[in-house]
Every structure is written in structure tokens, then in C-alpha cells.
Structure 1
Amino acid sequence: MNTPITFAQRLSAAAHQGLKHANPLPAEALEDLVARVARPGVQRVLDVGCGAGASALALAQAAPIAVLGLDLNPDFIAQARARSKGLPLQGAVAWRLGDLTAVADEPPFDALWCMGSSQAFGGPLDLLRGAHARVRPGGSLIVGELEWVGEPAAAFLSDLGLSAADLWSDAAVPDVFDQHGWQMDHRVVASASAMAAYEAGVEAGRLAFADRVSESEPEGAARVRAQVDGWRELMARHGSGWQFAAHILRRPAA
């Protein structure tokens, strides 16, 4: 039996549908990450929270890699399958709907790609701990996450409903990775203009979704518009307090 898609999942898929990549990194930075990951010896990659499949497909286009894209959202998996049809690939891509239990029987991968999807593990630090079971010794973890810029303001934490410990800070890099058994090989930070462009794209997608469902689901549409207004105000007040950074981390060989 197919699991019914939730309102939140439909909204998330719609919010990112107009974006080539569902994260704030510019295209050239993502292309560089793909090139660094698609190196000789990398044969199997797990993309956790693969979304509409852009990164998984880029990896399979760049090298003869078998990529497994995993996502909980049926809309994203449907988009990924549609996007991959007829696309020339050096490698191969398979799509799987589900959480991490859906790959529990898979042997460790050469690389785990998790871009803005650490919630699949429970959060950013949980990702650093949990990824050891999914990555072979000598393999890589590609992680993209929000991080604090300096010490987060108390008002920002209160508005977000987070604690300072929920994200690492830019000052803690690379020590936080070392403490969790990872060595940092590469780091790239999205610029303020790239963050703003990403936020604008997500906002446009969310508002377009609200317009589409305004007659059939008026309460949901009103809730989405209120959330957009609230998030815009929050970012205007505190948006400089965090940034999006991506890292290539290496698990030391045994």
C-alpha cells in the first residue's frame, strides 16, 4: 500500500521545484563537490535526502558510480525518476522511498552525500555519529548544513525554537569533525547573495503552492502564507547569524 503524502511533503516538493539544487550553494560550488567526490575508487554512493535527484544524477553523469538516492517524500522521488529518464549517465542511479531503515541491509558505501538532510539521522551531530555505520573506512561524508556565525543571539534561538548546541558554529570547524572521527578535506560556504537567492526561490515556490491550493485547502494556504511572512521577518532580523556550509569529510582508514 502506498503511504499517503502529507501536506508538508507536498509543500516541500513544491517549494524546491523551481530550484536546480535544493540548497543554497551556487552551481559551480556543487559541480566542484561532485568532481571531488567522483574520484577513482568511488563505486557506490548513498544520497540521503536526495530530493529531486540533482546531486545523485550529477555524480552518475560524472563517473561510473552506482548512486542510491533515498528520500521520504514521494513527490521528490517521482520528480527524480522523471528527471533521470533518458539522461545519459556514466554510472547508474536507483531511487528508494523511505528512511534509513530502507538501506539497513546495504553494505557500507564509499561515500555518503547528505546535503541539508541531517534530520534523517536526527540532526547535524547525529549525522556525524551515525554516518560511520554507512561509510567504509577511508570513505567520505559530504555534509551540507546550516551553522552559526559566531555565538547565536538568544532572540534568534528563541524565535527558531533551537538551542546553540543544535548546530555547530563556524569557529568549531574542523574541531567538531575531528571529535566525531572525521577529517575535513574540503569546505565551501555559500555567500550571502547565494543564500538570499535560495531563500527567494523557496519563498516563491511556497507562495505558488499556496495559490494553487487556496480554493481546495484554504486553511493550509493561509498557514503557508503566514509562515512565509514570519520566516521573511525572522531572516530580516537574524539571517546574518547563520550560514550554509558544505564539507567533504573523510573517515580515516582502519
Structure 2
Amino acid sequence: MDLPRSFTIRESSHRILNPFTPEKLATLGAAIGLRPGATVLDLCCGKGELLCTWSRDHGIAGTGVDISTVFLAAARERAAELGVGERVRFTHGDASTYVAGEPVDVAACVGATWIGGGTAGTVALLERSLRPGGTMLIGEVFWRAEPPSQEAVEACHATSRDDFGTLPGLFEVFDGLGYDVVEMVLADEDSWDRYYAAQWRNLRTWLDANPDDELAPELRAELSREPMRYVRFRRHLLGWGVFALMKR
């Protein structure tokens, strides 16, 4: 059970595996009022930057779950680097079935709501680990503008317009599930750039070093295609943010 190599190549230089900058991640941690000793569960934690930096900055303890052995190795190295290895731990496993052994103060899925089959299913999954009165964090994509064509939809990694909602539509979903939105931090075009443009350099660096690898033709085609699709469509059509929710 692991991610395909293409994922780890594409995001090899990234610490944050979504369109957030370190500054936005820090803003989110401060905005939700983290306290020393608070417990955090992060499903699909990637390289663990959320848990590691919040443990360093706020004294939280936490668990991260991810399917990628490469990402988890990087997360453990980061925890050791920041001196928080005794407060955060990382588990290799299927986040779609993971439930914390004890209820946590903050339950998060930041940018991987496919593990619950969408926003509502992921909220239901996180509820199983969240203490009463705790804070849930959902990272989700949304349309900033109406896609003009099917080509635009597919360039945004969707199959149809209905795959993503709008920002008001997301708030309606949260409201219908019985949650108040109590904070949010949204990506902007610069943070999208830092996420996607860094992938192009990672791909090019890898291709230069591995021209005969079996993945080289696929990743060469991706590097030739994706930058233009990003600047033509994705950069101005897609929004992304992390929403802090509390049950009514």
C-alpha cells in the first residue's frame, strides 16, 4: 500500500503538499487558537508539516496518517529536525478508515476529501475522532469562476463542472451538516504558483537525472502539457482553502 512514484517525484521538494505557503499554514494554526497539549489528528498528512510546525510553535501533540512511505519518512525526519519527535507520530495506513483511539481536539483532512468520497463523507469520518466541542479542519477546492469549457474543466483535474462546488456552495454544505464555519484561510494565486510551479522544476530535475527510467515518457509529457494548462485555466478558475468547523 503506497502512492505511485510519480506523486513523490512531482512533490519531491515540497514540504506542504497543497497550495498553502508556510505563512498561511502558520496563520491557520494561530487562527484556530491552538493551545499547548492540544491533540491533533491529520488524515492524509503527507510530509507532516502541519503537525511538526504546529507542535514546534504551539506545543500540540498529534498523529498523522498517510499511505505514502516516502512522505512519512520525510515527516519523521522533519519532526526530528524540529525537535518534536516525542510529541508527534506518523502512521502508515489507509486514512479513509482511521479512527483515533482517543477523541482529539482538532481533526483535520487538509486537501484529501476523496478519502470520504467528498466533503460530507470526510466530515462524517473526522467526526468519529473529534471530541465534543472540538474543531474540524477541512481543506477543499472550489470554483472561483465558471469554467468556460470541458477543456477547462479537465485542465482543473475534474471530469465535470459538478465535481467541485463554489465557495458559497461549500458553506451551504457545512451548514447542512450542522456545522458553523468559525475560521478560514484561503489560497491565493501566489500560493497556487508555489505549489504547481515547483512541481515543474521537480519534474525537470528528475527527468535530467533519469532519462531512461520507465516513467520518463509519461513525466516528460506532463511537463510539456501542464504549465500551459495551469496558466490558461487552473490559476484563475480554482480556489482552495482550509475551513475550521465546529458542530452546533
Normalising to structure 1: TM-score of the pair? 0.85
Gaps of 5+ in 2: none
From the superposition, tell whether residues 245 and 206 of structure 1 become closer, same or farther in structure 2 (CA, over 3 Å): same
1:28 aligns with 2:39: no
From the superposition, tell whether residues 161 and 248 of structure 1 become closer, same or farther in structure 2 (CA, over 3 Å): closer
After superposition, the C-alpha distances for 1:22-75 in whole angstroms (9 at most, x for unaligned) are 222222221011123452486221111111111110121123322101110000
Q: Indicate which of 233, 242, 248 corresponds to 1:238.
A: 233
Instruction: Give secondary structure in 1 for the equivalent of 2:245.
Output: strand
C-alpha contact 2:32 2:183 (8 A) present in aligned 1: no
Aligned partner of 1:208 in structure 2 is: 205
Aligned partner of 2:109 in structure 1 is: 114
Aligned partner of 1:48 in structure 2 is: 43
Q: Sequence identity, in percent?
A: 24
Aligned partner of 2:134 in structure 1 is: 139
- Letter of the structure 1 residue corresponding to residue 194 of structure 2: A
Correspondences of 1:149-168 after superposition (within 5 Å)? 149-155=144-150, 156-159=152-155, 160-168=157-165
Aligned partner of 1:187 in structure 2 is: 184
- Letter of the structure 2 residue corresponding to residue 212 of structure 1: A
| Larger displacement relative to structure 2 (116-125 or 234-243) | 116-125
C-alpha contact 2:19 2:187 (8 A) present in aligned 1: yes
C-alpha contact 1:186 1:248 (8 A) present in aligned 2: yes
- Letter of the structure 1 residue corresponding to residue 30 of structure 2: A
- Letter of the structure 1 residue corresponding to residue 191 of structure 2: A
From the superposition, tell whether residues 86 and 203 of structure 1 become closer, same or farther in structure 2 (CA, over 3 Å): closer
- Letter of the structure 2 residue corresponding to residue 250 of structure 1: M
C-alpha contact 2:67 2:95 (8 A) present in aligned 1: no
After superposition, the C-alpha distances for 1:121-144 in whole angstroms (9 at most, x for unaligned) are 233343233322232221111122
Aligned partner of 1:74 in structure 2 is: 69
- Letter of the structure 2 residue corresponding to residue 59 of structure 1: W
1:222 aligns with 2:222: no
Instruction: Give secondary structure in 2 for the equivalent of 1:174.
Output: helix
Q: Post-superposition shift, 1:106?
A: 2.0
Q: Post-superposition shift, 1:101?
A: 6.1
Distance 1:17 1:37 in 2: 29
- Letter of the structure 2 residue corresponding to residue 164 of structure 1: R
Gaps of 5+ in 1: none
Q: Indicate which of 56, 61, 64 corresponds to 1:61.
A: 56
| Larger displacement relative to structure 2 (99-108 or 46-55) | 99-108
1:177 aligns with 2:149: no
From the superposition, tell whether residues 87 and 26 of structure 1 become closer, same or farther in structure 2 (CA, over 3 Å): closer
Distance 1:111 1:46 in 2: 6
C-alpha contact 1:132 1:251 (8 A) present in aligned 2: no
- What's the Cα RMSD here? 2.5
Instruction: Give secondary structure in 1 for the equivalent of 2:228.
Output: helix
1:251 aligns with 2:236: no
C-alpha contact 1:38 1:63 (8 A) present in aligned 2: no
| Count of matched residue pairs | 245
Q: Post-superposition shift, 1:86?
A: 4.9
Q: Post-superposition shift, 1:200?
A: 0.6
- Letter of the structure 1 residue corresponding to residue 124 of structure 2: R
Aligned partner of 1:104 in structure 2 is: 99
Instruction: Give secondary structure in 2 for the equivalent of 1:85.
Output: helix
Q: Post-superposition shift, 1:225?
A: 1.7
